[in-house]
Structure 1
Amino acid sequence: MGCGSSSMKDKKSETVLKAALIIQNWYRRYRARLKARQHYALTIFQSIEYADEQGQMQLSNFFSFMLENYALVCEQSPQLIRRLFESTLQDIKDRQDYVALIDVPDSYDGPRLQFPLTFTDIDLLIEAFKQQQILHAHYVLEVLFETKKILKQMPNFTHIKTSPSKGITICGDLHGKLDDLFLIFYKNGLPSGSNPYIFNGDFVDRGSNSMEILMILFVSFLVYPNDLHLNRGNHEDFMMNMRYGFTREVLYKYKLHGKKILQILEDLYTWLPIGTIIDNEILVIHGGISESTDLNLLHRLERNKMKSVLMPPMSVNGNLTTDLKKNKGGVPVAMHGRLRASQSFSEQLSKNEWGQVVTVFSASNYYEEGSNRGAYIKLSSGMTPRFFQYQVTKATCMRPLHQRVDAMECSAIRILRERIIARKTDLIRAFQLQDYTKSGKLSKTQWAFSMEKTLGLNLPWRSLSSHLVKTDKDGNIDYMSSFQDIRIEKPVKEIQSTLVETLYRYRSDLQIIFNIMDSDHSGLISMEEFRAMWRLFSLHYNVEHIDDSHVDELASSMDFNKDGSIDFNEFLKAFYVVHKFDKLAKSDTTLAEQE
């Protein structure tokens, strides 16, 4: 009896162990698949963001083209060239013209700042922003003018020293994510004489609270000018703000005085230091360094002439071409991952000195909720850098991993489909070149090659194909299914598809140009200005297969009241992408919840 009982227990234990191992292996494979899907989604986000930054360089080249052909453009479209560049040539009015005429009414119940500012004002501002209050335009302008006054006295690079007892905290991109700044201060303490900070650019854009972040940072800087350091990023740039949302945020929150605030910010940005040097050993700069970075050149640079990374520097006396020729080839252009300069000092460095670069990014949940953590660094003299990670946690971040991955994947595939539909004509041409038998089908390898060659996104197309196309039993892809369930909406059905795709593809660039021209923010542009803008744009971007008559026809169709003007913002909004699968996804989610 005893032996039989023991044998049964051993068999039962063995069965339980096998079952546990099977469950464990299944769970590990399940987690691995989720992590792979998450990785692919992040790869899509990052690849498209990088491609967008290359698009920014195209826009920069467009403005260089405008200046290099300044005389010709002026002769053909003098009104257009004046409108395009007037915002960079105008003088900022006297402080009193802005601030003194703006009264703070008794009914205003937001934070009231007292100048000169103290630590109490920092605390007051933070608490008010936690309650989602808006700082009155009067105080915003006061802070901007005070900040600019101090920045103008500073060198291009701020030199600071640390000690074992007094370190410094370095924060990266915040991009309008106020909750991340609150979390940093909660974990690491508020700025003070004993708790200094460096904020390394990209305070604004993308997120919805860029103005609040700027105000907290600038007020903290005014209270502790020797202990809070602000470097300029590529988004401290009035043209980038037009593209990535901060301009819209300001005009929405400050409808009456938003334009004045933007004008002051445009000038203030240029006075932000380029970088910070810690203990004569560590360089903190936005966008990184290259083999040709020359600090001596950067120390001598007249930084206030760099109005935008997208537009060549120009003098305020209107002598554009002279200024361009003088600086051509010798002005560093700072972008993410790039810093070019006219001279090289890399030969002086050993190979071991390259690669000692740390990237710090402080905006968590950057692409989607749960997509990434933020971080900051603490440095002290003679000590190893310490890295701190965090993630703002909201209701969506508390969901199971598979739900978070589903949401990320859905969003990533959505923006990838939009990129695909914007190049539909080019992709069809590439597919047909590979389709030697005219069967309408390609191998997975041929399809992936065509996608990469046309879109240039460096993505694992073969792995992503199951999300994007239909495959037959032999593994061949119906390449026209690349465009299934998605289309670009257009206001006039007769307009040719090439024009629609082109306008959709370059809509952000066109909107930046329009916003510069629309100096009074009326939202309207004359038909003649639109035609002139399009001619210049298409000439530089080598837009092919589009007849000017089609552009005129489309523009005329948007002039609903026939007054000679079109609402260009509404014009671009007409070209939005329709996703049929969105409704299917919602219905699937509903069914899943019911089950």
Structure 2
Amino acid sequence: MGFSVGDTVAVYGRKATIRYVGTIPPPSGSGPRSSSSKRKATSASKSGYGIEFLKPVGENDGSVEGQRYFRCQPKHGMFVPLGRVQPYDGKECAAIQIQASWRSYRARQAFQDAAAFHFWNELDAFEEKDALVNNRDVGTPTLNTIKKQIHEQNMADEIEEMMMGATTGPGERSRSSSSSSYLTVPGAGGRDSKTGAASGSSAAGGVFRGGRRRSSARRSLCRTSVDASSISAENVPDDYTGPKLKWPITREFALDLVDHYRDNPDYPLPRRYALELIMAIEDHYKQTMKGAVVEVEIPKKGGSRLVLVGDTHGQLNDVLWIFYKFGPPSPTNVYLFNGDIADRGRYAVEIFMMLFAFKLQCPSSVIINRGNHESADMNEVYGFAQEVRQKYGGFMYQKFQEIFHLLPLCVVMEKRVFVVHGGLCRKDNVTLQHIDKLNRQRPCPACPHSFEDTLMFDLLWSDPQHENGRGWSTRGADCIAFGPDVTDAFLTKNNLEVCIRSHQVPTNLRGFEPVHDGRCVTLFSASNYCGTTGNYGGVIIFEANLSFEIQEYMAPSLAEIQLLYKETCAATQKVFVQTRIKDLEMQTKRHHRRTAAARMNEQILEKICKMICEKKTDLWWCFFNMGAETGRVSPAQWREACANVLGQDFPWVYLMKRLHVVDSDGYVYYNDFLNRYRVEFRPPKCKHLNWRRECVARVFESIMSADLSLKETLMLFDRNCDGTVSFREFNELITELDVGLSEPQVRILMRLITASPAFNAAAGSIDVAEFLGRFRVVYSHVINDDSKKNVPWLQRALHCIGKAILADKADAANRHYEQQRQDGNLGPEINARRRSSAVRAVALFQKFKDYNEGGDGYLSYADFVTGIKRLPIDEEELGFALTDEHLYKVAEAVDTTGSKRINYLEFLQAFHVVDSNSNNSAAEELWGQICTAIYQHKSSIRRALHQFDPDMTGQVDSEDFRSALVTLNTVLSRTEAPLTEEQIDQLVNTLDLDEEGMVEYEEFLDSFAPVDTYFLQPAKEDGSPTTHNGPTKKSVNLKTTNHAEADGVDSSSSGRRFTFSSQLS
């Protein structure tokens, strides 16, 4: 149909008017053209229309490259071919626009989901790398050192007992041996019987102080120990209604167990039954498994098949859904699980129990490969250890580890298909014989040094890459990636056709992903992995001739699976069943589409928070070097610093916007940003609170107790007597003084000095009076002043005197600053911006000099009383008349050293009123560094403590707790010890013990959590929090949660909640 100029038409669903008919120019945006390309484009020009839209949705104003075809407003014109123009129909246009909007929305959503998943996956790989590196560099060396120490101690004890046996009779030897485990070795840190506090010198002569002592492991022999015999003697709970275990195991029991876990997933199998299954499967593997490679043939009976399953990671709903769709294991329906059943999800134990039952009933019906998460170092980090200990105790967890060591490393199907969890190796010419002869009955090596260790490590940890050759995997920590040529070489060398592996969520979010020209396939079976990614799960079903089909699915929740079983129990409803399955999977996919991105973004926030907490000091040094003079950096500098310290591949542009780090003036104030993040210690029942004060109060109190004069105090900090304290002077002081701070903690103090407006960044110094006031603020929340609190009138007197002293604080501070300027120590610009806390500190400094009539740098009691009597104290507020007797008692209270005179730091401590909103004091930062150090290495600490607690009761003696921390600190000291030994002693001495005098270490280690405070300020009078930068924000506690189980997300979260996908649009 031809159209003429002036006709009203529809183009791309929009109303338009034709303004030109004829030859149209080539599409815009093709860039500059040479003369030859122009001639070619002209010859290829087509006829069409120039049209004008009613709205600015076009491309031009009727002209292209300087040639005018018609006139219209800018962005209203467009040239289109003849076939793109249709007669105008309002309804048709509306339908097209709705359709286009929906397609555009879905395209944006798909891109956002893919980008969010890519970022989440990068962070997840970073966490795994961190766990691997921590295990290699910290966990394993600490564990080996503890084992060696325990072995040496036990050998020494045995020699001592043999020597005692040679000099005493059998009866005496028996009595001596039985009582020795309760003896306290002098200097070994025993506890006072009344207070429960640890006694003994903190000066350690090795890990076991003061001589040899019996560990918790040896003392545990004196009390009932949990072992196989004690568990076997347990009675089945009376309220247990699940299947009853009888031997030999029948198929009916295995099917009943599946039904039990489907209907009662939170009701574990009785411990006695679970142990019997584990012991039986262990015996089976020991009798039948000879090498690390299992060769499998698919049953030749008609209708037989093998179902290959990838990672399930404790997601019971996925395994139940697979059994529902493809049938339970049987002699003709064989299942091969390709590792990583453990960790992340809540129900890995239940999955193992089902598979063990089917395998014991028919050994050929189930094969289980070992994955990288069938390993103690991963289990401690990703949840399986906690799951087993919570359900069955520590002994059962150890039995699971023994079974993991017996699992095969790979399977060869029909001599043609190679099935392995991770991938191929960094070594050339590896054969199946090499793999089969590996010593698999051990933990996965932390470092791939030897040929055997390298093969085992790579089979469990490697990933494919698109490029030929081998490279480093994004997981880092010695993990490699292998290319198509490596795959071809290995398969050719071993006469194989394809490699099937698992280990990672496919990048296409499908249940499978072929690479290397289809010769390497990634198979992943945990749909909507961790409740966040929205990916499909998949299985590969092989027939007897190795023909196969790949089935993908989206597993419904456990509740929906329960309901489906009730609806479709009749065999005659097969058609209905298949329809119902498709509907249910589609509903589940739509539900996950709405919620998975929100969960994923929430986890991204948690992971970023954890990373910042652990790298806080490194970030500060990077920021400081960029913006030392201003305390601020540009957004580009912020992104550069974060990329250098935390990771180059993360989308820092989006994170910068979503984390709200840019202030209203367009800069990032990096001290404020870093102060948002910390690891908090939140013990249950307010336990262990004394530890906090003891760990951070010593610096101020130790200097104050030295009872120095004012001149000596100033010279202590201001060594060149220029009226300021520099970085160098402060670092020298802290290094020389034995004040119990580690190197990272000294850097924290130095970092917080620069947060003060008084800090002269160009000179690298701070006014000495302001510094001393700030030094007082550092320890304001932890200084022990209980004696004053116990005398109400004294507390009121100190408050009123302090107000009177500071009544003219501005004038007093100006006298000090004026003197500094006259001495040439202070420039006129430095006083432009001062906090009230700095003015108060300087005013107190000046008042102390005013009251010191003798000029010796101390206030005598008479000097103090005389000075205070000059002040206009509000006796009405005080509530009584302040006499000389009162003032002398106040002086005695201020003189904490008892020297009958008051030094400057005592005066400062008594009357420096701390801002109520001083949330980011150095005390908080020092405390946060201690908490971060323990949180960052809690898996290594826990594994070390298990050597003293073989039954994994969660309790050890305080001295064993100290031994583990000292050993860890010693291992870390190869680079930089995060704690001092004195701080470890303070922790051990102040920990609350249970009724048996033991440290509940599991409870203690689980009390640490990273937090993003979102610039949280003190609450208003109505209790609501306030901020200085935008809307109210919440303090987010980022304890590890079980994401696989969560089914709902609160969509009404604060506007400050991190939403990565929304920003991508």
Whether these two folds match at TM > 0.5 is yes
129, 135, 140: which one pairs with 2:261?
A: 129
Post-superposition offset of 1:247: 2.8
Deviation at residue 221 of structure 1 after TM alignment: 0.8
Instruction: Give yes or no for the alignment of 1:289 onto 2:424.
Output: yes
Which secondary structure state, in structure 2, belongs to the residue aligned with residue 265 of structure 1?
helix
Contact 2:438 2:452 survives alignment (8 Å): no
Structure 2, unpaired ranges of 5+:
1-6, 16-86, 154-205, 464-477, 493-497, 499-514, 561-587, 682-688, 697-922, 1015-1032, 1037-1048, 1056-1065
Distance in 1, matches of 2:532 and 2:450, equals: 47
Report the Cα offset of residue 9 of structure 1: 11
Q: CA offset at residue 373 of structure 1?
A: 2.1
Compared CA separation, residues 489 and 337, structure 1 to 2 (3 A): same
Correspondence for 2:172:
none
Q: 2:353 aligns with which of 192, 197, 215?
A: 215
Partners of 1:226 and 1:545 in 2: how far apart? Answer: 52
Q: Look up the equivalent residue of 1:540 and give its one-letter code.
A: V
Greater share of residues in helix:
1
Quick one: distance in 1 between partners of 2:456 and 2:242? 42
Deviations along 1:285-337, whole A, 9 cap, x unmatched? 12222232553222112322x1x226699xxxxxxxxxxx9998677325432
User: Separation in 2 of the partners of 1:32 and 1:583?
Assistant: 33
Which residue in 2 is equivalent to 1:406? Answer: 598
Aligned residues: 561
Give the counterpart of 2:622 among 426, 430, 453: 430
Q: CA deviation at 1:139?
A: 1.9
Alignment of 1:64-143 (within 5 A): 64-65=140-141, 74=152, 76-77=206-207, 97=229, 100-104=232-236, 108-132=240-264, 133-143=267-277
Residue 159 of structure 1, CA deviation: 0.7
Report the alpha carbon displacement of residue 440 of structure 1 after superposing the two structures with TM: 0.5
Equivalent of residue 124 in structure 2, options 25, 46, 49: 49
User: 2:661 is matched with which residue?
Assistant: 470
Alignment of 1:62 with 2:194, yes or no, is no
Q: Is the CA contact (8 Å cut-off) linking 2:532 and 2:597 kept in structure 1?
A: no
Could you tell me how far apart the structure 2 residues matched to 1:432 and 1:244 are? 35
For residues 388-407 of structure 1, the C-alpha deviation after alignment (integer angstroms, 9 at most, x for no partner) is 22122349865484554233
- 2:983 corresponds, among 540, 550, 574, to 550
**Correspondence for 1:197:** 335
2:1058 is aligned with 1:589: no
Contact 2:539 2:551 (8 Å CA) reproduced: yes
* Residue equivalent to 1:388: 551
Q: Residue 293 of structure 2: which of 142, 146, 157 is its match?
A: 157
Cα offset, 1:387, TM superposition: 1.8
Change (3 A) 1:573 1:117: closer
Deviation at 1:72, TM superposition (A): 8.1
Matches of 1:276 and 1:64 in 2, distance apart? Answer: 29
Matched, 1:180 2:180: no
Distance (whole Å) between structure 1 residues aligned to residue 143 and residue 613 of structure 2: 33
Pick one of 133, 139, 148 that aligns with 2:282. Answer: 148
Aligned-partner Cα distance in 2 for 1:340–1:488: 29
Partner of 2:1003: 570
Q: Is the 8 A contact 1:169 1:198 kept in 2?
A: yes
1:461 aligns with 2:652: yes
- Alpha-carbon separation, structure 1, partners of 2:391 and 2:635: 52
Q: Report SS of the residue matched to 2:425.
A: coil
Two-structure CA RMSD over aligned residues (Å): 4.2
Cα–Cα, structure 1 residues 116 and 479, in superposed 2: closer, same or farther, change >3 Å? same
Worse overlay, 8-17 or 511-520: 8-17
Q: Secondary structure of 2:1004's partner?
A: helix
Higher RCO structure (Cα 8 Å, ≥6 apart): 1
CA distance in 2, matches of 1:25, 1:583: 39
- What is the DSSP-based 3-state SS (H/G/I as helix, E as strand, rest coil) of the residue aligned with 1:196? strand
**CA deviation string 1:401-455 (max 9, x = no partner):** 45542333223223322322232222111122222653502233x3222212212
Q: 1:474 to 1:39 in 2, by over 3 A?
A: farther
Identity of aligned residues (%): 25
Secondary structure of 2:530's counterpart equals coil
- C-alpha contact 2:226 2:395 (8 A) present in aligned 1: no
Q: 1:457 to 1:525 in 2, by over 3 A?
A: farther
Rounded Cα–Cα distance in structure 1 between residues aligned with 2:9 and 2:454: 82
Looking at structure 2, the residues matched to 85 and 117 of structure 1 have their Cα atoms a distance apart, in angstroms, of: 38
Once the two structures are superposed, residues 88-143 of structure 1 have per-residue CA deviations (whole angstroms, 9 ceiling, x without a partner) of: xxxx9997x36652344665422102321222112111111122143222221221
Q: Does 1:39 align with 2:173?
A: no
| Alignment partners' CA distance in 1, 2:213 and 2:342 | 29
Structure-1 residue corresponding to 2:456: 332
Mapping of residues 266-305 of structure 1, within 5 Å: 266-292=401-427, 293-304=430-441
Distance 2:978 2:406 in 1: 44
Is 1:363 the counterpart of 2:526? The answer is yes
Distance 1:579 1:80 in 2: 43
Paired letter, 2:271: A
Q: 1:574 to 1:14 in 2, by over 3 A?
A: same
Quick one: structure 1 residues 251 and 546, their matched pair in 2 at CA, closer, same or farther if it must change by over 3 Å? closer
* 1:117 alignment partner, SS class: coil
Deviation digits for residues 26-85 of structure 1 (CA, Å, limit 9, x no counterpart): 444433443343334323432232223223333134355358878689584478998899
Question: Structure 2: which amino acid aligns with 1:157?
Answer: V
> Per the alignment, do residues 506 and 19 of structure 1 end up closer, same or farther by CA in structure 2, a change over 3 Å counting?
farther
Partner of residue 320, structure 1: none
CA contact (8 A) 1:173 1:363 kept: yes
| Equivalent position amino acid for 1:456 in 2 | G
Using a 3 Å threshold, how does the CA distance of structure 1 residues 158 and 572 change in structure 2: closer, same or farther? same
2:308 maps to a residue whose letter is I
Taking the aligned partners of 1:253 and 1:67, their CA distance within structure 2 comes to 25
**C-alpha distance in 2 between matches for 1:534 and 1:94:** 28
Partners in 2 of 1:501 and 1:32 — Cα distance?
A: 41
Distance in 2, Cα, partners of 1:166 & 1:470: 60
**Paired position in structure 1 for 2:825:** none
Q: How far, CA to CA, are the matches of 1:555 and 1:480 in structure 2?
A: 32
Residues 221 and 489 of structure 1, relative CA distance in 2, 3 Å threshold:
same
Please give the per-residue CA displacement for 1:199-250, whole angstroms capped at 9, x wherever unaligned. 1112222211122111110111112212321112222234433332223223
Segments of structure 1 that go 5 or more residues without pairing to the other structure are: 1-6, 314-324
Tell me the distance in 2 between the aligned counterparts of 1:213 and 1:107: 22
Measure, in 2, the Cα distance between the counterparts of 1:552 and 1:93. 31
Q: 1:137 to 1:529 in 2, by over 3 A?
A: closer
Instruction: Give the residue type in structure 2 aligned to 1:145.
Output: M
Whole-angstrom distance in 2 between the partners of 1:45 and 1:80: 48
Q: What is the TM-score of this pair, normalised by structure 1?
A: 0.81
CA contact (8 A) 2:281 2:360 kept: yes
Q: Secondary structure at the match of 2:242?
A: coil
Moved more, 583-592 or 222-231: 583-592
State the 1:181 CA deviation: 0.6
Q: Secondary structure at the match of 1:65?
A: helix
Distance 1:398 1:110, change over 3 A: same
Amino acid of the residue matched to residue 332 of structure 1? M
Moved more, 63-72 or 201-210: 63-72
Going from structure 1 to structure 2, the CA distance change for 1:346 and 1:487 (only over 3 Å counts) comes to closer
How far the C-alpha of 1:515 sits from its partner, in A, is 3.6
Cα distance change on mapping 1:174 and 1:455 into 2, 3 Å: same
Tell which deviates more after alignment, 215-224 or 570-579: 570-579
The residue that corresponds to 1:4 in the other structure is none
CA distance in 2, matches of 1:503, 1:372: 35
Which is further off, 171-180 or 76-85? 76-85
SS in 2 for 1:556: helix
Instruction: Give the TM-score taking structure 2 as reference length.
Output: 0.47
